[in-house]
Amino acid sequence: MLLEIQGLGMDFPQGGLFSKSTLRALNDVSLNIAAGEAVALVGESGSGKSTLAKLVAGLQMASRGEIRFNGAPRADAARDDIQMVFQNPFASLNPVHDIRHHLERPLKLYGLNKPGALKELLEKVGLDESYLTRFPHELSGGQRQRVAIARALAPKPKLLLADEPTSMLDVSSRMDILQLLGRLRKETGVGLLFVTHDLAAARWLCDRILVLYAGQVMEMAASDTLLRAPKHPYTQLLLAAATHGVSLETKLPAKPGRANTIDPTPGCPFQNRCLQALSECSHTTPTLVGSEHQVACHLESR
């Protein structure tokens, strides 16, 4: 297995120095990604998607749980094996350096700077050598994101983490970058963890979709299955929001308090917004059941 995540948890202290409150950004998340597989991480803002990606990237240390890469602890993974592409390609490229600098550095660092390597790398992402002397501000958002992807691919990683790589782009660049990622998956066999708000993009690009809510896995299944027959009321709501423009908030009762502070109200984190909530939802936290199609919802065991 390329990536094995077991019981991952992440807590952040909240409310300043003298506050004892803690935000549970991730709670008991488990996920496996096979070599070459692509998994999408969806869920509304604050659900913990970026936190999960950052933990896998090794940018933050988890509070609990384990991440293994190629059968060994994450900390032992070669630095070049897991690469990340961020949301904002302007912030991730250095404005004072040209594109050559951005791409040559990782190639040199990993001893891959052979003749023709730069050209090959640019071609992979649909750019040519004329871009080498250009600076980030001379590029469109889509072109910048191509450079960021090329840089991430330079060390030939086995796993690419892409945190909303298209959300700051206009619609046509968004399609371009999605298609590029799809092509690169096929050509390089790189595994992908794709963070997105876009369910259609998730389905198009990824084999499986994992739905996070308040730092917990609500549902996980093959992309087609999840979107055709979503089981969790939250997934159903996300889908309705995407296909019929239903607001994530207006049709539902107001959300009292935060769903994922430590010592939260017992029961399902989604109970206060769930139109199908049962009495047990307010006192027992549903566990994730199923193997191919996993769901954490009391309705499932009815």
Ligand X SMILES: Nc1ncnc2c1ncn2[C@@H]1O[C@H](COP(=O)(O)OP(=O)(O)OP(=O)(O)O)[C@@H](O)[C@H]1O
For the bound state, the minimum distance from the C-beta of residue 20 to ligand X, rounded and expressed in Å, comes to: 15
Binding mask 200-229 for ligand X (x = CB under 6 A): ------------------------------
Report strand pairing: 191-195 vs 38-42: parallel
Q: Residue 48: which of Mg ion, ligand X, none does it interact with, CB under 5 to 8 A by kind?
A: ligand X
For the bound state, the minimum distance from the C-beta of residue 16 to ligand X, rounded and expressed in Å, comes to: 11
Taking the least distance from each CB to ligand X, the nearer of 143 and 216 is 216
Taking the least distance from each CB to ligand X, the nearer of 47 and 173 is 47
Residues 75, 143: Cα–Cα separation, whole Å: 33
Residues 41-70 that bind ligand X (CB under 6 A): 43, 45-51
Strands across the sheet containing 208-213: 82-85, 159-163, 191-195, 38-42, 208-213, 216-222, 294-295
Find the helix or strand (DSSP H, E) in which 278 lies: none
Q: Residue 45: which of ligand X, Mg ion, none does it interact with, CB under 5 to 8 A by kind?
A: ligand X
Distance of CA 32 to the CA centre of its chain: 14
50 binds Mg ion (CB under 5 A): yes
196 binds Mg ion (CB under 5 A): no
Question: Looking only at Cα atoms, what is the longest distance across the chain?
Answer: 67
Q: b/e per residue, 113-150, with b = 16+ CB within 10 A?
A: eeeeebeebbebbbbeeebbeeebeebebbbbbbbbbb
Binding mask 12-41 for ligand X (x = CB under 6 A): x----------x-x----------------
Residues 268, 271: Cα–Cα separation, whole Å: 5
For the bound state, the minimum distance from the C-beta of residue 23 to ligand X, rounded and expressed in Å, comes to: 6
- Site residues, Mg ion (CB under 5 A): 50
- Site residues, ligand X (CB under 6 A): 12, 23, 25, 43, 45-51
